[in-house]
Amino acid sequence: MKFNLKALPLAISIALVPTAVFANETTDEKIEKLEQQVATLQAQQTKNLTEKFSFNGFISGAYISSNNSAGYNNATTSSDFSQDSKIGFQGTFNISNQTQAVLQLMMKGENNWDVEAEWAYLSHRFDNGIKIRGGKLRLPLFMYSDYLDVGHAQPFARPPAEVYDQVSFTSYTGGDISYDVEFEDSTLTFQGFGGESIIDNKTSDIELSNIAGLNANWTDLTWTVRGVYGYGNLGGFLLDNTGSPFLTIDDEKSTFLGFGGGYDNGAFLAIAEWTQVEVNGLLPDMESAYLTLGYRINTFTPYVTVAYSKSTDDNERAALPPQLGIPLSLGLNEKRNAYSVGLRWDALDNVALKFDVTYANDFGDTSGGLSGNSFNPSTGEFMLDDTLVYTVKFDAVF
């Protein structure tokens, strides 16, 4: 026998209403009154749920192409509409006035639009101002870590790869704790974090354990200053072009140090970040930085970005036996400068159209960190020494 759940509220209501109430009413009048009561209860339940639940999202669509197949941002000479295209949905459920559950689901063109959870955590803010979160979180290493996929929140077409690609994972499973120190016109936020993560892609199969770090961020909404330090242990394999392991990483300690700052008075904006990644063993130590300047003219914001990245321990791999040192140097040494010129047009309050041209060069005797720049044994040099990437993109929030 099937039990009709929709009839349950009606049955309960009937049971709760005193028999005497119906003494002088016809059957149709009784049913009509009970249906009104059930409708009222359902409306109240819906209102309560709406007040507790909020939903928003964002979407980006992009066209990118390059003058060659060096692989900057995975661009090639063919038109690509997937690499920087994505859509995300985020739901927030207020369990209480101080406790929330947050879930953000992402679908990216570069990952064949597979559904992935970027955020999935429970948070609670105590009366003393301390906030704790647990679950799957963004690793807070960069100024735009919290908005890494929300292109509308960024002035440029994409965060500079020279800095943001140095750490190949963006989220971790664990928790964090933060505390805001309020001044008269500014806020200083301390945040500690810890957990673990896994990097599983075409070039690596690595597990990160014992991740821990601390960052501090001060802002008065015009000036922003930020510093972060983190460390963790790496274990796993780097993979070659066939997907086979070519370098074992045996629980190597790594550290991350970063400083950033920004200025935005509503018209002029400046953003800069400097990062340093150091890893024990044969993996490269990296240093990188960028500076972005922009100026808003009504709904248009032209901007320029200058960035660089370089490995700082090439001498360690050069000191290895040639049969090991040469292939590792060719694969891991990196040097690159990049220059971007772009324009953001805020076509609507929640829709921005962006145009960007990025030129990367000065690779030295390295591939520039670009996977498509292969080594030519006959010349003893890499095939390409620069690349030019074009991007047209829209970013929207809803």
Dihedral angle at the C-alpha atoms of 326, 384, 206, 85, nearest 10 degrees?
A: 180
pTM of the model: 0.85
Residue 242 CB-density burial (10 A; 0-12 exposed, 13-18 middle, 19+ buried): exposed
Q: Which residues contact 26 (CB under 8 A, 6 or more apart)?
A: none
Q: Is the pLDDT of residue 223 over 80?
A: yes
Whether 75 and 84 have beta carbons less than 8 Å apart is answered as: no
> pLDDT digit string (tens) for 115-152?
999 999 999 999 999 999 999 999 999 999 998 999 99
Whether 190 and 178 have beta carbons less than 8 Å apart is answered as: yes
Whether 344 and 41 have beta carbons less than 8 Å apart is answered as: no
Structure tokens at 169: 């994972």
Q: Which of 292, 293, 307 is nearest to 359 (CA)?
A: 307
Write down all domains in the chain, each with its CATH number in brackets: 112-397 (2.40.160.10)
Q: Is the pLDDT of residue 17 over 70?
A: no
- The pLDDT score that the predictor gives to residue 286 is 97
> pLDDT digit string (tens) for 300-356?
999 999 999 999 999 999 999 998 889 889 989 999 999 999 999 999 999 999 999
